[in-house]
Structure 1
Amino acid sequence: MARAIWTGVLTFGLVTVPVGLYTATEDHTVHFHQLERGTGDRVRYKKVNERTGKEVESDDIVKGYDIGDGEYVVVEPEELEEIAPGKSRVIDMAGFVDLDQVEPVFFERTYYVAPQNKEYLKVYELLRAALERSQKAGIATFTMRNKEYLTALRAQDEVLVLHTMHWADEVRDPRRELDLLPDRRTKVGGRELDTAQQLIDALSMDWNPDDFHDTSEERVQALVDAKREGRQIVSEAGPPEATNVIDLMEALQNSVERARSKDGGRPKQPAGELRRLPSRGDKNKGGKQGSKGAGDQKELEGLTKKELYELAADRDIAGRSKMNRDQLVKALKSETTAA
């Protein structure tokens, strides 16, 4: 089991629940050691005394605030803890905001939030369910490892997640940082905009993170294997040329046609329209449920995870809350076949 990297209490109003924070992501990047060219010897970093050149043990290192002219104010770790003993153990909700009001540029890292003991499960689930229903995020500050964070707390299926966020003065203003951005004089034609929207519609899909994986890691591994075996590896083609404004409309139209041909010409479901499959209560209606099974199974592939979960709940499929989208499809297909 994972270990909590922080423990404390989460408060909203006068309600308090002891929680722990757990790292939600992991890095699977291919890592290299640093070697000296020609010798192949490992290169390592050491913490050394700038004056003597001798290595210093971690326990003998303290923090120093530079006040100029080579002078420092030394601060011990326990002194930082003492100036905010309460804040280092409390995530206090200042308020709740609509999720779409928070620009993604503010998000930094993500943590899972879990109750510390079984006795707090109901209070925890109450907050999670309320956030899920309201589609809001709780905004709070808290201190971890002697650093204060701005955070957003939101609900996922079965779990609360906490995003650490950048402070307002840490987010750069694009108008100040970027030389070229569209302004009011940059016009796009109505026909071009309509065609671009058609392209977006033709390429629309359900979000399924399992459909994507890190191909750069595979390319690095292929390079390493090729060098080890004395083979040459073929370089991939570079990026395509930029689209000329004169050819923009043609490029858009060709893109729409290609996207539609890949989709087999099937019409897209209008956004927000729920496709309904027969529930348990429908099985005995019409007397021909068995003949519809194949069509139902094909339609399952086009449902979103939320729609699949609602259907699984309607059919009382056990373990549905822990299933991903593919597992929900498989379970529903098995249930339909068994019927």
Structure 2
Amino acid sequence: MARPVWAGNLSFGLVSLPVSLYTAADSHTIHFHQFPRGTSERIRNRRVNERTGKEVQLDDVVKGFDTGDEYVLVEPRELDEIAPGPLRSLEIAGFVDLAEVDPIFFDKTYCLGPRGEEYGKVCSLLEQALAKAGKAGIATFVMRQHEYLVALKAENGLLTLHTLHWADEIRDPKKEIDTLPGKANDSEKELTTAEQLSNAMSLNWDPEQFHDIFQEKVAALIKAKKAGETVEKAEPAAEPTEAVDLMEALRAGIERAGRPKDTGGQATTSRKATTSSKAAARTPPPKKRIRSTPKEDLSELSKADLHKKAAAANVPGRSNMNRDDLLKALSRP
């Protein structure tokens, strides 16, 4: 079972609801220890007094801020004593239209649950009200000696809490990045071709189609090195597209992605194309001969490569399949 990272009271108006906060996502990053090259002796990070060289226990550590000519030392309890509002309170200042909150402000997501079955009705009522109104509750609260600006949302029948960046933390790209291009004087033909490419590559959002291939490669590398084997290196990155080759690259991308989807009647069809389509309506086109292609040998592919092919073929349940299951599913006619 998940353990709460914070517990306190959520209040709005005159309603106070005891809640617990849980992290909504879990990282699957593979973590490594550090070793001096050529040895099996681990490198340890320790808190050491720079003068005596002796290790310092965590309970004896205080915080210090460098003011330039001296350090100002602060005890953890002193930070708790000056925290704005009660430490265990999450009070909603008001409700805003969710569409008004720019996505750049969102940081980390937590799930919020009532502490006790008797508070479930109030929690459910708030969730339904937020979902129906399309609003988010805006609040600030203190967790682990940091104050957070947060948005309380309704998502899939649950209350979720999203930490938000403070306004002065959002960078202005135009001031921070000196290589940003201005508005290019693109031709109508280039713009139309770029739109056709985006239409040809459109897809339905399905997060199950995507997975962390790099972490699978790292796990395969570890397994191979343990067995004394080698692994195949990744293909080099694609070369940047030269400006003079832009149109050719766009056309090639369209051909590779397949025929563009109908854009809803945009006026891009020439008179010649209209005439030929009328002629085609009178004379049925000859049937094209279908040449069968040799069946690909999948037995040598890795699980990651098989998963990519299964995603392209829209194989149901692929995310829960092992390598043999993927191989069988892709081998079916």
The CA distance in 2 between the partners of 1:246 and 1:67, in whole Å, is 54
After TM superposition, list the pairs within 5 Å mapping 1:15-34 onto structure 2.
Answer: 15-34=15-34
Partner of 2:130: 131
The CA distance in 2 between the partners of 1:134 and 1:122, in whole Å, is 18
The CA distance in 2 between the partners of 1:247 and 1:85, in whole Å, is 58
The CA distance in 1 between the partners of 2:24 and 2:203, in whole Å, is 25
The CA distance in 1 between the partners of 2:82 and 2:252, in whole Å, is 63
Structure 1 residue 42 and structure 2 residue 64: aligned? no
The CA distance in 1 between the partners of 2:84 and 2:165, in whole Å, is 23
The CA distance in 2 between the partners of 1:156 and 1:206, in whole Å, is 20
Structure 1 residue 79 and structure 2 residue 78: aligned? yes
Maintained 8 Å contact 1:202/1:268: no
CA drift at 1:16: 2.5
Deviations 1:151-202 (A, max 9, x none): 1221110211111122122222111221111224x22233322332232233
Partner of 1:336: none
Structure 1 residue 225 and structure 2 residue 223: aligned? yes
CA drift at 1:148: 0.4
Query: Which residue identity does 2:182 align to in structure 1?
Result: D
Partner of 2:140: 141
The CA distance in 1 between the partners of 2:208 and 2:262, in whole Å, is 22
Maintained 8 Å contact 2:199/2:263: no
Query: Which residue identity does 1:176 align to in structure 2?
Result: K
CA drift at 1:48: 1.1
Q: Greater shift after overlay, 164-173 or 247-256?
A: 247-256
Structure 1 residue 238 and structure 2 residue 266: aligned? no
Paired residue total:
266
The secondary structure found in structure 1 opposite 2:87 is helix
Deviations 1:291-313 (A, max 9, x none): xxxxxxxxxxxxxxxxxxxxxxx
CA drift at 1:248: 2.1
Partner of 1:208: 206
Partner of 2:280: none
Q: Greater shift after overlay, 80-89 or 122-131?
A: 80-89
CA drift at 1:10: 1.7
The secondary structure found in structure 1 opposite 2:109 is strand
Query: Which residue identity does 1:160 align to in structure 2?
Result: L
Query: Which residue identity does 2:38 align to in structure 1?
Result: G
Stretches of structure 1 that go unaligned for 5 or more consecutive residues are 271-325, 328-339
Maintained 8 Å contact 1:88/1:146: no
Q: Greater shift after overlay, 186-195 or 164-173?
A: 186-195
Deviations 1:98-117 (A, max 9, x none): 33433333222111111112
Deviations 1:126-156 (A, max 9, x none): 2212222233322211111111011122111
Aligned to 2:256, which of 255, 258, 282? 258
Partner of 2:61: 61
Partner of 1:323: none
- Residues 61 and 193 of structure 1: CA distance in aligned 2, closer, same or farther (over 3 Å): same
After TM superposition, list the pairs within 5 Å mapping 1:1-339 onto structure 2.
Answer: 1-73=1-73, 75-84=74-83, 86-184=85-183, 186-260=184-258
The CA distance in 2 between the partners of 1:268 and 1:224, in whole Å, is 47
Q: Greater shift after overlay, 49-58 or 130-139?
A: 130-139
Q: Greater shift after overlay, 141-150 or 14-23?
A: 14-23
Deviations 1:244-283 (A, max 9, x none): 333323322332233235xxx8x6798xxxxxxxxxxxxx
- Residues 269 and 23 of structure 1: CA distance in aligned 2, closer, same or farther (over 3 Å): farther
- Residues 165 and 78 of structure 1: CA distance in aligned 2, closer, same or farther (over 3 Å): same
- Residues 14 and 196 of structure 1: CA distance in aligned 2, closer, same or farther (over 3 Å): farther
CA drift at 1:217: 0.8
Query: Which residue identity does 2:51 align to in structure 1?
Result: R
The secondary structure found in structure 2 opposite 1:127 is helix
The CA distance in 2 between the partners of 1:94 and 1:145, in whole Å, is 21
Partner of 2:271: none
- Residues 241 and 126 of structure 1: CA distance in aligned 2, closer, same or farther (over 3 Å): same
Query: Which residue identity does 1:121 align to in structure 2?
Result: G
Stretches of structure 2 that go unaligned for 5 or more consecutive residues are 265-315, 318-333
Query: Which residue identity does 1:35 align to in structure 2?
Result: F
- TM-score normalised to the size of structure 2? 0.72
The CA distance in 2 between the partners of 1:22 and 1:124, in whole Å, is 15
The CA distance in 1 between the partners of 2:58 and 2:39, in whole Å, is 30
Maintained 8 Å contact 2:9/2:19: yes
CA drift at 1:214: 0.6
The CA distance in 2 between the partners of 1:179 and 1:67, in whole Å, is 32
Maintained 8 Å contact 1:25/1:110: yes
Query: Which residue identity does 1:26 align to in structure 2?
Result: D
